[in-house]
A and B are shown apart, each in its own frame.
Chain A
Amino acid sequence: MSSSTDSPTLTTETTQLSPQPDTETAKPTKKITLKSSDNQIFEVEESVAMEFATVKSFFEDSPSTDTVPLPNVTAKPLSQVIEFCKEQIKFKANPDEAQKKKYNAEFVTEKSDKDLVDMIPVANYLEIKDLLDVLNQAVADRIENKSVEYVRSFFGIDNDFTAEEEAALRREHAWAYEGVDED
């Protein structure tokens, strides 16, 4: 899948956005430490961490802590989720639906199938609704109009049906297979 990040005509729009982070970093912000299940430490700004509903409620329950352990989350998907949320904060400060849509689409197109699927339980656990929707839509887009065999290998699913069972199921819903070009 090719990404089109080097679109020439969009340069003006990105330069418009660039002054934003400078003003953000100018004022001191509180940092919060997140610890992944494989003991990696992530320092993120408070505003970013508050995007995670799970972390937010953790702080509401025990405000004195400064490190949040995330026992269900490994480092790689977590770092990608943080990357996404950092961008979303910028859009919150400076709403631009078109740019946000574009960023969200680019965020998922450049991810591998594996990364995409790995982020779903993380987004679910951290309760980041926007990201979860973006990811679910992206996974659906990648398997749409694909053959059953393709989807099996996409998700790494073992086919535990016998050939007869599978054929019977296909016959039951024969209409759903008609007029479909599977690739």
Chain B
Amino acid sequence: MDAADRISQLPEHLIHRILSFLPTPEVVRLTVLSKPWHQVFTSFPISEFSSSPFSANNSDRSFEFCTFVYNSLLRQCRQYRSIPRFKLSVSADLCRSHRYSVQRPLPPQIDELIIRCIEQVTQKGVKELSICFRTPVYYRLPEAMLSVTELAVCKLAGCLIEGNMNWPSLRVLSLKRVEICGRRIIDNLLFACPFIEELALIECNGIDYLHLSGLRKLKKVKVKGQFFSPIKKIEIDAVSLHTFSYSACFYAKTDIDLTSCKNLEVFKFKYCIITEDLVQHLNCNFPALKVLVLHGYIHDIQRFEISIPLLEKLKLSAPNLSAEEAVINAPRLRSFKCYMENIPPLISLNQTSLQEVSLKLSVDLIYGQHGEGFLEYFRENLENINQIRLVTLLITNNSSTIINKIVRKVSNPVLLRIRNLKLNTYIEGMRKEGLALVDDLFCICRPESLSLESGCGSNDEFMEILCKKLVDRVKHENYSADTQVKCWQRDLKGVKIEHLGRKGYWEAVTGHAFLDSLRTLESEQKIRFVFEW
């Protein structure tokens, strides 16, 4: 085979497949590769349109964007019998010069073009539709949306629904920042979609009571509350329901009734008030529950007891959990994650099935009454739990001198058997205190790995100090045994610095290269130091 240009010999549908993995502007740029490629492009069904590349400089090019979308769809209408996917995303700065008002959410010219685009796809049997507006005013859905027979997946954001929708084939519905004009509308909408499997209502306006029944295929429901229009009650009557997740807004009180969802396996409740009634309700009503996430404030609980026979994963984020004793009775529990702001109560958790325990403890050591004995106390508490493979400990503290105080109190130099340590530092004057912090840190634990995220708190400074210290490290043989602080340097056999790349792989970097790259390091990059002791 000729060495050159194998790709152009591939069947057109394969090149289309490759193009479908690329963002639309990239696909458009590739039209100038060669004449055959231009040909391939003219038959490529573009399905994702975003206005953001059209606002690269400050001019208003909304009309150019809409014309591009319209012409692309027109071409597809001629070439194909149907348009299966259409994704339209309009950014906030699309119509800069337009003065937004509720009556005129878009300039008339633009509005008309978008309506015609939506008409085209709905007439051409669109199955997957996504319309996202980030404009200051909700986008009023055109009449063409009222009845779309083939529509299976519908995602709307920043829109306004006022008519009764008829989407009989719908399986997945996601409404985000959508204004729903009246409770009847959502009731009717869901009544007309008997095959719906997944429903997400994120920060929508106009739902105060959500009642779902008669939906035999309903598997997943995700609701997130909105401040100005809180949901008072959620009632779901669906035996098929598998996952329910609700995130209230500012701990707003919502009645949740899922009593008849006997097959529920995943229950997530965020920003809630955890009461004894709620816990009791969970213990009694969901025999199939496997995953439980509770994130909220404990209110008036004497005894905290979770007792669910099939539970495999438990995530508990309860900053003020202060019951004398917390009992978790779940013989199948594999993963337990917990976040607390107090010294934890004695958690009775002796499951042999347990593989992963993650304890995030955020303690204010200065003002807290636990003081310096807290690590010892915590170690004792941990040793009661066998089978732990992973512990994440989060200690928040304003000054590293407190850590130093604790370290000096510690009798055993290697205190915590922590293998993987994640660290976020928020220390003012890190440059001054960082050196001591490094010494103190390795004095209380000898982790196999230390992970940090760049751009977070004073992590960047800390990493620089740590890295310099590791690079400058010389193998001193003559440390006297009593200088506990330095002895970690003697024990350290090797160190590797790794950076989590874009593709999800750890790439090793040398200490010097890392120091050089620190200045230009983007935020939220994951860095890992791997130690050999």
Binding site for B on A (CB under 8 A): 2, 4, 6-9, 74, 101-102, 105, 109, 114, 117-118, 120-121, 124, 132, 136-137, 139-141, 143-145, 148, 151-152, 155-161, 166, 169-170, 173, 175-180
The interface bits of chain B over 1-37 (1 if a CB of A lies within 8 angstroms of the residue's CB, else 0) are 1011111111100100111111111101111111101
B491 within 8 A of A: no
- Interface residues of B, count at CB 8 A: 51
Contact A178 B56 (CB under 8 A): yes
Contact B5 A124 (CB under 8 A): no
Please, which residue of chain B has its CB at the minimum distance from the CB of A133?
B17
Contact B5 A155 (CB under 8 A): yes
Chain A: minimal CB distance from B528 (Å): 8
Chain B: minimal CB distance from A38 (Å): 11
Instruction: Given A136-B14, A140-B21, A148-B30, verify A161-B35 contact (CB < 8 Å).
Output: yes
Please, which residue of chain A has its CB at the minimum distance from the CB of B419?
A9
Residues of B within 8 Å of A178, CB to CB, are 53, 56-57
Instruction: Given A145-B26, A158-B4, A175-B53, verify A169-B21 contact (CB < 8 Å).
Output: no
CA gap between A145 and B7 in the complex, in Å? 18
Contact A148 B21 (CB under 8 A): no
Instruction: Given A121-B10, A132-B17, verify A157-B530 contact (CB < 8 Å).
Output: no
B496 within 8 A of A: yes
Please, which residue of chain B has its CB at the minimum distance from the CB of A146?
B26
Closest 8 CB pairs of A and B: A140-B21, A178-B56, A179-B56, A156-B4, A176-B28, A176-B25, A155-B7, A156-B5
Residues of A within 8 Å of B5, CB to CB, are 155-158
Residues of B within 8 Å of A9, CB to CB, are 448-449, 506, 530
B504 within 8 A of A: yes
B507 within 8 A of A: yes
The interface bits of chain B over 47-70 (1 if a CB of A lies within 8 angstroms of the residue's CB, else 0) are 000000110110001001100100
Chain B: minimal CB distance from A13 (Å): 13
- Label chain A's interface by main secondary structure: helix
* 27 A-B pairs with C-beta separation under 8 A: A4-B508, A6-B508, A7-B505, A9-B449, A9-B530, A74-B1, A105-B505, A114-B6, A118-B6, A121-B6, A124-B10, A132-B17, A136-B18, A140-B18, A140-B19, A144-B23, A144-B26, A148-B30, A155-B6, A156-B5, A157-B4, A157-B33, A158-B4, A169-B38, A170-B32, A173-B31, A177-B29
Chain A: minimal CB distance from B52 (Å): 9
CA gap between A97 and B227 in the complex, in Å? 38
Q: Which of B22, B33, B34, B508 is A144 in contact with, Cβ under 8 Å? A: B22
B503 within 8 A of A: yes
Residues of A within 8 Å of B508, CB to CB, are 4, 6
CA gap between A70 and B496 in the complex, in Å? 47
The interface bits of chain B over 291-304 (1 if a CB of A lies within 8 angstroms of the residue's CB, else 0) are 00000000000000
Contact B6 A148 (CB under 8 A): no
Given contacts A121-B9, A157-B7, A169-B32, 15 further A-B contacts (CB under 8 A): A2-B507, A4-B501, A4-B508, A7-B498, A117-B6, A118-B6, A141-B503, A148-B33, A155-B5, A155-B7, A156-B4, A157-B33, A157-B37, A169-B31, A173-B31
Chain A: minimal CB distance from B480 (Å): 32
Contact B4 A137 (CB under 8 A): no
Residue among A102, A118, A155, A160 facing the most chain B CB atoms (10 A cut-off): A155
CA gap between A124 and B6 in the complex, in Å? 14
CA gap between A1 and B448 in the complex, in Å? 28
CA gap between A161 and B1 in the complex, in Å? 24
Contact A161 B34 (CB under 8 A): yes
Contact B57 A161 (CB under 8 A): no
Residues of B within 8 Å of A117, CB to CB, are 6-7
CA gap between A155 and B68 in the complex, in Å? 28
Contact A124 B14 (CB under 8 A): yes
Contact B6 A139 (CB under 8 A): no
